[in-house]
Amino acid sequence: MPRWEADAQGRLERAALELFETQGFERTTVAQIAGAAGLKERSFYRYFPDKREVLFAGNQLEAHLVAQVEAADPELTPFEALLSALGSADEVFPREFLLRRTAVIAASPALAERDLIKLADIADALARALERRGVEPGEARFVIDVAIVISRRATSRWLTDPDAPLSELVTQAAAELRTAVAPSAPTVRREEEQRPPAST
């Protein structure tokens, strides 16, 4: 059973998502969410500071990714550790929930703004995790920016292809980036061989 169906917090998340889908984020109140989950309004605030946060699992994704980076094999490069962590994000957000969540966020400027803020917070936390592994701050931010771009590409594919594991799609997207920025040596040599000889 998915995490978000198991307890009071999960019932609030599911109820909020259903209300956001049927009547829109702006028209949904905290009282309505709590009522649909079978809870009192004051119970809502034990789990979330506001109704926007319901869709972002609190700090669970951030905590999960940081823990994955910190537990990564010391032999992995910072980039490899990050990709491995990002490839495990589906352990926090079930695919079905994420599909519906993405549609709700896309329909609300307020939620889209919160999504960007949460992403920035996660990037900051991951930077600190890399620094604790001995990575220089500037390098940590650069590696994180690249890894997040790869993760976004992989996640968009994962949402449309349920048979492909997210971790494999992250690896695939990373390989595509390497190919795009560093073409193989034989290709470069062929291009040089096709050039006309320099005139003397």
**What is the C-alpha to C-alpha distance for residues 21 and 17, in angstroms, rounded to an integer?**
6
What the block records as the tokens of 146 is 């690249």
The token pair at 190 is: 């062929």
Domain termination residue (choose one: 35, 55, 75): 55
Mean pLDDT value across residues 56-77? 91
Question: At residue 4, does pLDDT exceed 50?
Answer: no
Cα–Cα distance list, 146 to 15, 59, 83, 112, 151 (Å): 35, 22, 10, 21, 9
The CATH number assigned to the domain holding 87 equals: 1.10.357.10
As for how many domains the chain has, the answer is 2
> What is the identity of the amino acid at 55?
L
Q: Which domain holds residue 162?
A: 57-180
Confirm whether 141 is domain-assigned: yes
Give per-residue pLDDT as tens, 11-40: 999 999 999 999 999 999 999 999 999 999
Residues 2 and 91 in one domain: no
Whole-prediction pTM: 0.78
Query: 100 and 9, same structural domain?
Result: no
Q: Are residues 102 and 164 in the same domain?
A: yes
Q: How far apart are CA 58 and CA 92, in angstroms?
A: 11
Which amino acid is it at 64? H
- 21 φ/ψ angles, rounded to the nearest 5 degrees: -70, -40
